[in-house]
Amino acid sequence: MARAHVEFIQAQAVPWTQGYPGGQRDDVESKVLSHDPDSGAATVILRYPAGWRRDRPEVFGCDEEFFVLDGALTINGQRYRPHSYGYFPAGYPRQGAISEAGAVLLTFFEGPAETAKPGQGFRIDGGLVPLIDTLAMPWAPVTHDPKVPVGLMTKTLRIDPDTKERTWMNARLPGGVRDGFLGAQEYHPVVEEVFLLAGDLFLERGVLQAGGYFWRPPPIKHGPFGTRAGLMMIARTKGGPLVNHWTEEKYPFTFTPPHKVDLPPELQAYGAKPYAGMTVY
């Protein structure tokens, strides 16, 4: 059983629960946005309370990838502030961690978040990213595909040396399309996963606000898309590199799309109606 299609859910609408289900962090709060019941992999938002700390060495038996949404967390003496990014392969040692004032992290676990022996499964060349301050990175224009809408900017955070799976950020200024615009739809041979950090994103299934999330399996067609407020997001592929395929047929864009989400049973109660709030998390 593969991870279910989640398109889309506003993280704000998902309630906090104590601990990470099936994991070791029973002293944090979590929101599970998507989950693979077979592998144990999951995408979650973790909220570390003020004063949270780990004074003992700790390693996980799965890869852990994270992006700081709010607050700060110090791991191995390195301070992860808002919009800091890290990728720890399975078995990577954490000598200690602390969050003085609390922190909120978007976290991607590639398996059960269970402790393991130091070095277990750790790939020396496996894409370890100890710390990236994404706020200090320059934006670059997307140039690999001439069919990508003009004005889309990107920051590459990680490319897996083995699978070529990729994690990156995108941003776009407001405007660029209007109601009735005709554009091709795109689809990919890999999973595309997105969390909207700021702005809005108008898709054929509805309107994502900041905090909107989707896990889109291949080869689901989507688009064209637009934004009124501009947007910034973090995205990942699973199963290989991002490859764009485009339909020959053109489809109309609208700023008033119907709300037609595709959600697993455990999320349906939180995404059946458009989200009307404005809180970010």
pLDDT of res. 12 = 95
- From the options 2.30.30.100, 2.60.120.10, 3.40.50.970, 1.10.10.10, give the CATH code of 6-136: 2.60.120.10
Element (H, E) at 132: strand 129-133
Q: What is the pLDDT of residues 175-209, one digit of tens each?
A: 888 899 999 999 999 999 999 999 999 999 999 99
- The candidate with the shortest Cα–Cα distance to 73, out of 96, 39, 41, 43, is 96
- Residue 211 pLDDT > 90: yes
The larger pLDDT score, comparing residue 178 to residue 127, is at 178
Q: Is the distance from CB of 11 to CB of 31 less than 8 angstroms?
A: yes
pLDDT of res. 146 = 75
Domain assignments of the chain as residue spans, ordered by start: 6-136, 140-265
Q: What is the pLDDT of residues 56-95, one digit of tens each?
A: 888 888 899 999 999 999 999 999 999 999 999 888 888 8
CATH code of the region 140-265: 2.60.120.10
pTM of the model: 0.94
Q: How far apart are CA 219 and CA 185, in angstroms?
A: 11
- Give the Å distances, CA to CA, from 130 to 144, 165, 222, 242, 247: 27, 18, 34, 23, 39
Three-state DSSP at 102 gives coil
